[in-house]
Amino acid sequence: MDTQFVVEIARSSIYTTLLVSAPMLLLALVVGLSISLLQAITQIQEMTLTFIPKIFGVAIALVIFLPWMITTVVNFTSQIFAIIPALPG
């Protein structure tokens, strides 16, 4: 096992992690920005106002994207398990 192989596995792991977490993070970003814009327009400066919409948004994104997220993680795990027999022992 050389360093290039380890770097490739690490890169693939980070890419998969970012890919799986992106829908929830992006939705939380959009909800947070829209609530902040609404607060700026109405001059309501309540710091806790953004938490509940973000929680609901992330929960909805989780329900919608969970099958795709599970499939992506299972495919990545299967690829890692398929590589294991070829590793030098």
Q: Please answer whether residues 24 and 65 qualify as being in contact, where contact means their C-beta atoms are separated by less than 8 angstroms.
A: yes
pLDDT for 20-58, tens place per residue? Answer: 999 999 999 999 999 989 988 988 888 788 889 999 999
**Is pTM, for the whole model, over 0.85?**
no
pLDDT at 89 over 70: no
**Nearest by Cα to 58 from 34, 30, 39:** 30
Please say if the pLDDT value at position 59 is more than 80. yes
Report the distance separating Cα 53 and Cα 36, nearest Å: 11
Note the pLDDT of residue 8: 92
- Using an 8 Å Cβ cutoff, are 60 and 8 in contact? no
Q: Does the pLDDT of residue 11 top 70, yes or no?
A: yes
**24, 61 contact by CB (below 8 A):** yes
pLDDT for residue 48? 81
